[in-house]
Structure 1
Amino acid sequence: MSRWLRQHRYACLVALRRLWSQPFSSLSNILVISLTLAIPIIAASVLVSAQPVVRQIPVSPEVTLFLQPGAAAGSAAQLARRLQDEHPQEIQAVRVVAREDALKTLKANPSWADALSVLPSNPLPDAVVVTLHESAGLAKQASALAQEWRQLDHVDSVQLDSEWVRRLEAILGFVRIGLGLLAIGVALVVLATVFNTVRMQALTQREEIGVARLVGATESFVRRPFLYLGALTGVISCLVAIALSALALNPLNAALARLANSYGTQVVLRLPESLNLLLAVVIVAILAALSARWSVTRNTRF
């Protein structure tokens, strides 16, 4: 066991010495991989930060029926009972929002209070808010019901409130797929960069490797420092990429805060969880080591 540890410690030290002996080449390779890795990390930060915002929005579609301004008092309650009786399977809940209650809610908002105070009368209509049950064809069913209810008496307009939420979910799904494809592209860049780095190191150490074989060095002894070279390059590049991403999020959050404040909300971009970042470092190190093994196998056959 102690012999095995000594061999790996020696291989790690040799890899570090080779990185240090060519600082410009090593730094160039690390920067290339780091900048490439920073792109999916920032994209993942945006996706991770957007998901809680979407989860806070009710996904079950709420169809709002606005009654005509001249509708008689009690028409909203009658309409609510009618809808509940005619569509018991589709409707989960029905509530009536009286025009007086809607006006009080708006007046409680400082942004609307001054504007509403100068109005001679209440311009808001009574409304019936219908929450639908979840189902497989929910979006299509909600659109069909909204179209049907537009033809009812005393109904001025019908609004499908949650349709944009489903569009947002579709966009997030598209972003996830794009992020997966981007991760594949980044993996290919890491493999190619490490492969070329190890290839140049193997060609540079060609004579040294030949002498080592002549004195009885095994293939694993020859290859092991190159594997550590690839793995160390991947780990250092990942750490640099995480640091660059954290720095990039500062100006992005400042710009996003100004945009979010104009909408009266707060959104902050954060890096993915530490466990996910650690997993990414391990995956990149394994990919880099595999690429190094492939490169040293191909370029030390002499």
Structure 2
Amino acid sequence: MKSPRRRSRNPTMHARLQAFGVHHARALLFSLGKLTQAPFSTLLTLMVIAVAITLPALLYLMLANLQQAAPAWERETRLSAFVADAVTDTELPDLAARLARREDVAATESIPRAQALEEFRAHSGLGDALDLLEENPLPAVILVEPAPDARDPEALRALANALEAHPSISQVQLDMEWVQRLGALLQTLDRLVDLLALLLGLGVVLVVGNTVRLDIHNRRREIEVAKLVGATDAFIRRPFLYGGIWMGLGGGLLALLTLAVLHGSLSGPVQTLARAYGGGFVLRGLQPAEALALLGTAAALGLAGAWVSVFFHIREIEPR
């Protein structure tokens, strides 16, 4: 007696699921059709959403490109270790080799006192004055290139202290100011991206919510009739929610198109500028995963704006 009951329930459950899917598909297509019926106002809404999404995305790409270029700039960071006078020119290469074996050192270059004097003479323009000196006043120098994982300000400071503690090193010179400025700039931009994305994301929610609110107001009679014949609030709000998703997706696609146009117009000049300075920097655009995340975020913001609007307005409409 049990098996016939199971057979009689399964078609009912299947029919319910099928009807549920059909209703959602109809609401999805109906909401898209509603947007296309007013193309000008829809386009204006999508453009506002696209601008709100493009601005934080542009700042994010600026930060990503700076972070991409930062390692190349950090490779230019070198410490100048001034060797004590007791170290001779023959001992200098051995000292440089010992320092190069440190884990936080990538490479070293030794400059003997005579070479240091010649370089100073060539760049200072004080050759005549130097000829008057009886002795070479300049010490030998070992240029130390930090290891890739020892180029942040804290690691560089620790390396400088360790080198200065060496008995054969009299002084270590490290220009930390630009490294600290770069770190502060990247940190500030990272915080600015988060704040701007939050504020403009709220703006997208408000824009979509207001658009849906006006649509609900214009279709008030239609909603009253639907409730009169027994339609639930969930059934009525479904097209509006899908409309919010469509607006979010449309604005996200326009933002991606804008970012692609900007990337295409700037990548050539940036590469030319990089080659002029002897670099091989390539302007970075959005990766596929980042583009999908942008579209997903835009759709979620559109859904959130539509949900807020229908939650407060549809339940207030009752048939007369």
TM bracket (short chain): 0.7 to 0.9
Partner amino acid for 1:193?
V
Q: What is the TM-score with the length of structure 1 in the denominator?
A: 0.75
State how far apart, in whole Å, the 1-side matches of 2:259 and 2:238 are.
31
Percent of matched pairs sharing the same residue: 29
Q: Does 1:228 align with 2:242?
A: yes
SS at match of 1:97: strand
Match of 1:259 in 2: 273
Q: Does 1:97 align with 2:110?
A: yes
1:262–1:99 CA distance, 2 compared to 1 (3 A): farther
Structure 2 counterparts to residues 256-295 of structure 1, below 5 A: 256-295=270-309
Q: CA deviation at 1:250?
A: 2.4
| Cα contact 2:81–2:169 (8 A) shared by 1 | no
Structure 2 counterparts to residues 27-42 of structure 1, below 5 A: 27-42=43-58
Q: CA deviation at 1:177?
A: 1.3
List runs of 5+ in structure 1 lacking aligned partners. 107-114
Measured against aligned partners, the alpha-carbon deviations of 1:89-144 in whole angstroms (never above 9, x if no partner) come to 997577342469x99xx9xxxxxxxx9xxx9xxxx985313456859943544565
| Cα contact 2:153–2:176 (8 A) shared by 1 | no
Structure label with greater radius of gyration: 2
Q: Does 1:218 align with 2:232?
A: yes
Partner amino acid for 2:46?
I
Partner amino acid for 2:273?
L
| Cα contact 1:48–1:272 (8 A) shared by 2 | no
SS at match of 2:80: strand
Match of 1:18 in 2: 34
Partner amino acid for 1:26?
T
Q: What is the TM-score with the length of structure 2 in the denominator?
A: 0.71
Match of 1:2 in 2: 18
RMSD: 3.9
Number of residue-to-residue matches in the alignment: 275
Measured against aligned partners, the alpha-carbon deviations of 1:247-281 in whole angstroms (never above 9, x if no partner) come to 01223223323432331113222322111211221
Q: Does 1:52 align with 2:63?
A: no
State how far apart, in whole Å, the 1-side matches of 2:284 and 2:107 are.
38
Partner amino acid for 1:45?
L
1:93–1:237 CA distance, 2 compared to 1 (3 A): closer
List runs of 5+ in structure 2 lacking aligned partners. 1-16, 128-137
Q: Which fold has the larger relative contact order, with Cα–Cα distance below 8 Å and residues 6 or more apart in sequence?
A: 1
Match of 1:109 in 2: none
State how far apart, in whole Å, the 2-side matches of 1:95 and 1:43 are.
38
1:47–1:125 CA distance, 2 compared to 1 (3 A): same
Match of 1:112 in 2: none
SS at match of 2:278: coil
Q: Does 1:296 align with 2:313?
A: no
Structure 2 counterparts to residues 198-209 of structure 1, below 5 A: 198-209=212-223
Measured against aligned partners, the alpha-carbon deviations of 1:167-198 in whole angstroms (never above 9, x if no partner) come to 32332222111111111012111101001100
Q: CA deviation at 1:48?
A: 2.4
Q: CA deviation at 1:290?
A: 1.9
Partner amino acid for 2:71?
R
Deviating above 4 A after TM superposition, structure 1's stretches of 4 or more consecutive aligned residues are 56-61, 77-81, 88-94, 131-137, 142-149
